[in-house]
Amino acid sequence: RVPLLQAARKNNSFNLLELTEAELKEQFVRGDGPGGQATNKTNNCVVLKHIPSGIVVKCHQTRSVEQNRKIAREILQEKVDLFYKGEDSDVFKEKKALEKKKQEKKRRAKENLERKKHFKEMQQLDKK
């Protein structure tokens, strides 16, 4: 089972709930992490809160405040969609599909490795 809020941040989801600016509280804070003076002296980290659900998103992916605002809204929209729709959300379904595809690929690789191992064992027996 995939935790609902960890499944967010998928770009191919189209049926997301719409957010209005009245539902959002936006703050600009100093970011953290590497970057030195560029990080320590500029307030380009965006903290966005969806008031009805209480979900908070912090975005400091770029130096640009405008780009961080856009990215934060996208992430928040997906998390709010997951919060309200749960397993019916397109984001959740996409995450499950990717997880299933990854498991299938892992299963095939394991089978292939077993086949190679069995083949080598058969060659060793033929040499004796």
The answer to whether position 104 is within a domain reads yes
pLDDT tens digit string along 75-88? 998 899 888 888 88
pLDDT at 55: 94
CATH, residue 29: 3.30.160.20
pLDDT at 7: 47
CA dihedral 7, 11, 14, 17 (to 10 degrees): 50
Q: Supply the range of the domain harboring residue 104.
A: 87-127
Least Cα distance to 89 among 29, 2, 31 occurs for 2
What CA–CA distance (Å, rounded) separates 93 from 91? 6
Q: CA separation (Å) from 126 to 46, 87, 119, 123?
A: 67, 54, 11, 5
Average per-residue pLDDT for the chain: 84
Contact between 38 and 106 under an 8 Å Cβ cutoff? The reply is no
Taking the chain, what is the end-to-end CA distance rounded to the nearest angstrom?
A: 49
The answer to whether position 37 is within a domain reads yes
pLDDT value at 39 more than 80: no
86 half-sphere exposure, CB direction, 13 A CA radius: 2
Q: Are 60 and 36 in the same domain?
A: yes
pLDDT tens digit string along 98-107? 999 999 999 9
In a 10 Å sphere around its CB, with 0-12 CB exposed, 13-18 middle and 19+ buried, how is residue 41 labelled?
exposed
User: pTM for the complete prediction?
Assistant: 0.64
Mean pLDDT lowest among 38-47, 65-74, 95-104 = 38-47
Question: What total number of domains does the chain contain?
Answer: 2
Q: Are 30 and 78 in the same domain?
A: yes
